[in-house]
Structure 1
Amino acid sequence: MKAVILAAGYGTRLQRDVAADRSGRFAHLAGIAKPLLPVGNRALLSHWVRALATSNAVDGIYVVTNAVYLSAFEEWAANFPNVSIVCDQTRSNDERLGAVACLQLAVSHFQIEDHVFVIGGDTLFKEDFSLAQLKSRFFELQEKCEENSVLLSYRCRDDETHKYGIVEVDAKLQAMHMKEKPLPSDTKSRRACPCFYVLAKKSLPLLANFLHEKKDAPMQEKDAPGNFVSWLIPRKPVYVYEIGGRFDVGNLQSYMECDQYFKERLQDLNSYMV
């Protein structure tokens, strides 16, 4: 298996918050890509690399970044011989390719023909999450059908559905629909989906199909990787794997909460996400 970490975003909300903060406590975060923010005792992305390596979940880790942060990612990756970097060549948020196109870039650039963990570079999970257990579940599903992919979900509150992609499932936890940021009245489901998917290798050729179909669509229809998963669900079987929750570093407040948790409440760093 391979891992593709999507890290080509520009962190505009977070950087706006850092610039607006008058306390000076967060000045050191100015100009740092979200996946490289210090969380606890290491960069956010380093938690993923350590867990992927410790669990032997993958035999290749590929990170997609942009031209603005390329040198910072290359400097960070120098400490990890199992990590490779590819640049999307953009230099501003207005130029961004979108997450699905970045995923396709990694697949084509590194000639990936294997199952893929797709990981959002600004996301970490709660301590109940285990890469080894997820991988085991994925291969159980693969034994039944080689087209099976997996997405994660956790329970959200009624007033949070408008923030997330919400998946609707059947009794066997197969995804039936995924709705992007619905109102609570639009769906009975409260299953929020973070940016983390296990895509079967048989689904990878469909990335090009999706991007061709959406080539003239507005960016919001092809940016979030959840849009591809939503498009995939009617075409290939996708199953849900339940987790307890996540940290989503979007703004300064969410970053502070995440960093504080890792400094003060994380129980066992050595086994985290393994």
Structure 2
Amino acid sequence: MKAVILAAGYGTRLQRDVQNDGSGEFVHLRGIAKPLLPIGHSVLLSHWLKALSRTPSIQKVFVVTNSLYHEAFKKWAQEFPSVEIINDGTWKNEERLGAIACFQLAVKHFGVDDDILVIGGDTLFKEDFSLSRFTKHFAEMQRKDKNSNLVLSYQCKDEETSKYGILEVDSDLKVQCMKEKPLPTETNSRSACPCFYLFSRTTLPLLDAFLKEKETGPIEERDAPGHFLSWLILRGTVYVHRISGRFDVGNLPSYLECDRYFKEQLKNPDIYLM
């Protein structure tokens, strides 16, 4: 199994918040890619790598970044021998390839023909999440169906459905459909789906078909990872693994909430994410 961390975003909302903050308290965050932000007593991505490097089923980790932050990621990766960095060649947000194109870039560049874990580089989870339980769940699904895929979900609030992709699942936790940012009245489900997917190797060829279909559409169709997942659900088998919640570092308030949790509430940092 391989892992791809999507880290080619430019963090425009967060950097705008930092620039507009008049207190001067957050100057140290200027120009730092979101996956390299300090969270608690570690860099955000380092929380992941400490767990991934201790997971026997994951042999290699690929991080996709951009030209602006490439050197910073290369410096960070010196601590983790299992990591390889790839540059998507862009310098600014307007040039971005989109998350799914970055995913495909890693698959093709490194010749991946394996089950592959996809992680959003600005995401962390509450302490109940376990990488070993998640990969074990995937293995159980694979024994029944080699084409099955596994994604995370957590219960969001009614007023939050319009912010996320919402999964509708059956009694076997098989995904029936995904609704992109629906109103609370448009679905009974509150199962939000973060960017954390474990795709079967048989799913990887579908990346080409998806991007070919979307190549003339707006960048947003290739950018949000949920668009590929929504497309995949109509063509493949996707199951849900439930967790209690996540941290999505999108702006300054959400960054501060996440940082505070890791400094004040994280109970077992040595085994976090394991």
TM-score, reference length from structure 2: 0.99
Is 2:251 the counterpart of 1:251?
yes
In the alignment, structure 2 segments of 5+ residues that lack a partner are none
**Structure-2 separation of matches of 1:238 and 1:125:** 21
| Equivalent pair of 1:61/1:83 in contact (CA under 8 Å) | yes
Q: Could you list the per-position Cα deviations for residues 1-32 of structure 1 after superposition, in whole angstroms to 9, with x for gaps in the alignment?
A: 11100000000000000001111111000000
**Is 1:160 the equivalent of 2:160?**
yes
Structure 2 Cα separation of the partners of residues 270 and 201 of structure 1:
31
Question: What secondary structure, in the 3-state scheme, does the structure 1 residue paired with 2:53 have?
Answer: helix
Identity %: 59
Q: Secondary structure at the match of 1:222?
A: helix
CA positional deviation for 1:258: 0.5
Q: Kindly tell me the number of residue pairs found equivalent between the two proteins.
A: 274
Matching residue's letter, 2:31: G
Distance 2:222 2:103 in 1: 11
After TM superposition, list the pairs within 5 Å mapping 1:51-62 onto structure 2. 51-62=51-62
- RMSD between superposed Cα atoms in Å: 0.6
Match of 1:21 in 2: 21
Closer, same or farther in 2 for the Cα pair 1:30/1:255, shift >3 Å? same
> What corresponds to 2:223 in structure 1?
223
Q: After TM superposition, which residue ranges in structure 1, 4 or more long, deviate above 6 angstroms?
A: none
| Aligned-pair CA distance for 1:240 | 0.5
CA–CA separation in structure 1 for the residues paired with 2:134 and 2:215: 33
Name 1:151's counterpart in structure 2.
Answer: 151
Structure 1, gaps ≥5 residues long: none
Deviations 1:163-191 (A, max 9, x none): 10000011111001011111111111100
Q: What's the counterpart of residue 41 of structure 2?
A: 41
Matches of 2:258 and 2:54 in 1, distance apart?
22
2:211 aligned with 1:211, yes or no? yes
Q: Is the CA contact (8 Å cut-off) linking 1:5 and 1:120 kept in structure 2?
A: yes
Partner of 1:117: 117
Find the aligned partners of 2:16 and 2:9 in 1 and give their Cα distance.
Answer: 14
Q: 1:165·1:226 contact (CA, 8 Å) conserved in 2? A: yes
Query: How far does residue 220 in structure 1 lie from its aligned partner after superposition?
Result: 1.4
| Residue in structure 2 matched with residue 183 of structure 1 by the alignment | 183
Q: Say whether residues 1:72 and 2:66 are aligned partners.
A: no
Aligned counterparts of 2:31 and 2:100: Cα–Cα separation in 1: 24
Give the TM-score, by structure 1 length. 0.99
Q: CA deviation at 1:56?
A: 2.5
SS at match of 1:54: coil
Distance 2:224 2:144 in 1: 29
Q: Does residue 266 of structure 2 align to residue 266 of structure 1?
A: yes
Q: Residue in 1 aligned with 2:91?
A: 91
Counterpart of 1:129?
129
**AA matched with 1:24:** G
1:192 corresponds to 2:195: no
